[in-house]
Amino acid sequence: MSRILFTCAYDGAPWQGWQSQPGGRTVQDVLEKALEAAVHAPCRIHAAGRTDAGVHARGQRFHADPPGTCRIPLNRWPGALNARLPSSIRVLEARSVPDGFHARFSATGKTYRYRMERTPLLSPFLAGRAWHLPGELDEAGMGRALALFCGMHDFRAFAARRGNEPAPVPEGFFIRSLDRVSLEREGGSLYVTLHGTGFLYKMVRLIVGALYHIGRGRLDERGLHRLLRAPSGEKSPYCAPACGLYLESVEYPEFPPVNPGVPRMSG
Amino acid sequence: MSRILFTCAYDGAPWQGWQSQPGGRTVQDVLEKALEAAVHAPCRIHAAGRTDAGVHARGQRFHADPPGTCRIPLNRWPGALNARLPSSIRVLEARSVPDGFHARFSATGKTYRYRMERTPLLSPFLAGRAWHLPGELDEAGMGRALALFCGMHDFRAFAARRGNEPAPVPEGFFIRSLDRVSLEREGGSLYVTLHGTGFLYKMVRLIVGALYHIGRGRLDERGLHRLLRAPSGEKSPYCAPACGLYLESVEYPEFPPVNPGVPRMSG
């Protein structure tokens, strides 16, 4: 048994983000504990995207190298781990990958979706799962502004410091490319969907925050142009809350997208 | 200011049911605390349906008599209470009712909905909000069996003891009437909807439990007939879990159903 790539989904509300922390209340910690119980040995995992506290995932990916003595067949992995996981975290799939494969560095595309709720009241069933924005919003203007993000840009105004960046920052570090963007209304919900080859830290939430300012008339397209086309040291001023963000899927050239064919779950 | 009828919704997962308990972790306790903070005086509330721990509501109703000194206008009540409530409980509406009105005893109809999830995996976003039934189920047979419940019956086989029943039980106590029943598939979800004039304790969950046994081939229509048409002391053997149950709405002859017109929330 060599390297395995897993797909998982989680409700981020009860967790302190992906990345392992001393307290142990993170998705990585809980998954590593389940994995250790399944293979009877410690086993580190490596995610495609290290989501922040409160951020959700429908198609997160991570890889691990279970010990050679482990004889769990691929199709039994989801059941073996789910039996040891809380119901807010589910492993959907496991597949064998070459030893050089890396869940993060081998990824060639990611899709994030951000959910805003426009109804006067936020349903108790959406608490912690959407950004509640019941007030006036120029949604058409937000849609036009979103289109400006499409393509390759220097996104340094839409990046927060994680603290572990290379220093000095290499040439082109902030250059990223979004090849599909959309703003869609479904009932009382407003979704921003972004597909790109790579994302900077908090990039999606900073983009959604800027769109919100556009929608409220506090930022215009000229201001957005300035942030996006002629980046200085200026930062986009508003980061949308974590609760609305979902990591939808991670793509690799070798594999079809998450959950092809019949959906394994709804909701 | 005299009697007020409130409509509310809640995610039942974090709460120990509706009815006040010493620990205080119930929906009633939390609502009474918010009400007391709003009117600066203790204020008891009375629900239409005292839902069990883990049971959800989209259209629960309760009434209260705020003190005469209280000057909150009707349309400000939801905001005044929601500001003091956790996001898993929302007050949707307040309306003035006559002093003799009672949220429970004046009700003339209730709708309950029960959600089953048929996908191989239960989405982390549906944990605690549906009964996960990924295995074989004869859904057509369940639909035929459900139709048998329609109309007026002696439902004593589908009633649990709450412990506060009148003793001796009055003639006709177990006679209830369901005038609309349905079993519907929506994607991976299977819904049982029941509308009736009154429900016995755990009646919906005992009916759904019996349908599940039909679906698994452990109970047939003859057995169901026996429980329903010729009730002896025999009890239906299976109670479906609380997490799938939703109190959808409560009706009164004087009022239109909950949230007429534009929905105030989705999800």
pLDDT digits (tens, 9 = 90+) for B94-124: 999 999 999 999 999 999 999 999 999 999 9
In 3D, which of B116, B188, B120 has the Cα closest to residue A93?
Answer: B120
Mean of the per-residue pLDDT values of chain B: 92
Predicted local distance difference test score (pLDDT) of residue B262:
43
Mean of the per-residue pLDDT values of chain A: 92
In 3D, which of B14, B210, B242 has the Cα closest to residue B114?
Answer: B242
Predicted local distance difference test score (pLDDT) of residue A1:
55
ipTM value for the complex: 0.91
Write out pLDDT tens, residues A189-199.
999 999 999 99
Does the active-site annotation cover A11?
no
User: Which residue in A119, A124, A263 is closest to B89 by CB distance?
Assistant: A124
Residues in chain A whose Cβ is within 8 Å of chain B = 9-11, 56, 78, 82, 87-90, 92, 117, 119-130, 187-189, 263-267
Q: How confident is the model at residue A235 (pLDDT cuts 50, 70, 90)?
A: confident
Predicted local distance difference test score (pLDDT) of residue A78:
96
A243 CA to chain B: closest CA distance, Å?
Answer: 13
Cα A38 off chain centre by: 27
Window from A47-56, A155-164, B126-135, B152-161 with minimum mean pLDDT: A155-164
* pLDDT higher at B189 or A229: B189
Size of interface A-B (CB pairs under 8 A): 102
Cβ–Cβ of B266/A117 closer than 8 Å? yes
CB-count burial class (<10 Å; 0-12, 13-18, 19+) for A198: middle
Say if residue A5's pLDDT is above 90: yes
| Sign of CA pseudo-dihedral B86, B89, B90, B96 | negative
Write out pLDDT tens, residues B204-239.
999 999 999 999 999 999 999 999 987 777 888 899
pTM here? 0.92
| Sign of CA pseudo-dihedral B96, B99, B104, B106 | negative
Task: Report the chain B residue with the minimal C-alpha distance to residue A90.
Answer: B124
Residues 6+ apart with CB under 8 A from B71: B1
- How many percent of chain A have pLDDT more than 70? 94
- The Cα–Cα gap between B197 and B199 comes to 7
Q: Which residue in A52, A65, A138, A220 is the catalytic one?
A: A52
Window from A157-171, B87-101, B242-256 with minimum mean pLDDT: A157-171
